Amino acid sequence: MKYIEKTINRNTANTIVDALLINSWNDEETRYHGADYEGLSQTQYREPLVELMLNEQSNICCYCLKEICKEDTTLEHIIPHSVKINDFPKYLVVDELTNNVVYKTDFHRNVKLIPPAKYPHDIAYHNLIASCNSNSNCNHFRLSKHIYPFIYDPNIENKVEYDNEGIAYSFDYLADLAATGISTSPLLIVYRKLWKILSVEKNSPNEVTTDDIEMIILTLEGDTKFTQLLSNFYGNPSKKEELLKYKWFFHYYKNN
């Protein structure tokens, strides 16, 4: 797991959200119209915002650490878009959210203040991170389940570990990992196990070929708990190419 540093692009990113607010202000009605996530999803706002987030996340998913590009990126709300107002305070436990985010219906939409003191949580830059588009883990898997905003913990890289079998565990955030599918997805566990083996056999992830992957898969086929999952690595399409997008784990296992 990697800590996400939001100060890197804060000013530039807030300028993008400010542009949405400027363009959403209606002088006649003295009110914002469209200053919401649907408005932020317009190309002129979303694309530069995604580029900034991928930059600060080194082009990897906030949760599973898969290499992603803007075409397969989804924007994850740390505080869910649909969170109930009574549950909102549960997320205000880190400065990134406490100092920058307000519940969307508490945002004063009849007062033109750009930049605002705090941004509505559905469009606030500090409440958005870049996730992959998997349905079995990360953003689409989590949906609106409550999690502690652990990606803002500066010590997160020491608090989440992965064993030689590919199992993710954490004394502090085990329930949160489960809520995002990071500790429960069988395929992610297999990916991590394969990278553990590859980290022993290779000096660099760039040396890994599809033939190397097939050879390792053959050695694991006798283990019944992997049989069904490993079948995904044969034929076309194959999971081999996707496995190669999880190179972060090569370096993790190489250094641990």
Question: Do 241 and 131 share a structural domain?
Answer: no
Dist. CA 188–CA 159, nearest whole Å = 19
Asked which of 154, 177, 198 is the last residue of a domain, the reply is: 154
Asked which of 154, 171, 204 is the last residue of a domain, the reply is: 154
**Using CA atoms in the order 88, 93, 96, 102, what is the torsion angle rounded to 10 degrees?**
20
Question: Do 52 and 112 share a structural domain?
Answer: yes
Q: Flag whether 177 is in a domain.
A: no
Q: What is the pLDDT of residue 199?
A: 96
Question: Do 126 and 32 share a structural domain?
Answer: yes
Question: Do 194 and 125 share a structural domain?
Answer: no
Q: Flag whether 175 is in a domain.
A: no
What is the mean pLDDT, run by run of 10 residues, along the chain of 256 residues?
94 98 95 95 97 97 97 96 95 97 96 96 98 96 96 96 95 97 94 95 93 86 73 79 95 94
Q: Flag whether 50 is in a domain.
A: yes
Which neighbouring-strand residues pair with 249? none
- Locate all alpha helices (DSSP H) within 60-163, ordered by sequence: 95-98, 139-142, 156-159
Q: Which amino acid is at 114?
A: I
Question: Do 199 and 149 share a structural domain?
Answer: no
Q: Flag whether 63 is in a domain.
A: yes
Q: Flag whether 176 is in a domain.
A: no
Question: Do 238 and 135 share a structural domain?
Answer: no
Q: What is the pLDDT of residue 220?
A: 83
Q: What is the pLDDT of residue 150?
A: 97
Question: Do 120 and 79 share a structural domain?
Answer: yes
Q: What is the pLDDT of residue 236?
A: 73
Question: Do 123 and 18 share a structural domain?
Answer: yes
Q: Flag whether 169 is in a domain.
A: no
Asked which of 113, 136, 154 is the last residue of a domain, the reply is: 154
Question: Do 226 and 109 share a structural domain?
Answer: no
Number of domains forming the structure of the chain? 2
CA atoms within 13 A on the CB side of 242: 17
| Inter-residue contact 251 to 203 (CB < 8 Å) | no
Using alpha carbons, select from 134, 135, 115 the residue that is nearest to residue 125: 115
Q: Flag whether 40 is in a domain.
A: yes
Dist. CA 100–CA 89, nearest whole Å = 13
- What residue numbers bound the domain in which 138 lies? 10-154
Q: Flag whether 149 is in a domain.
A: yes
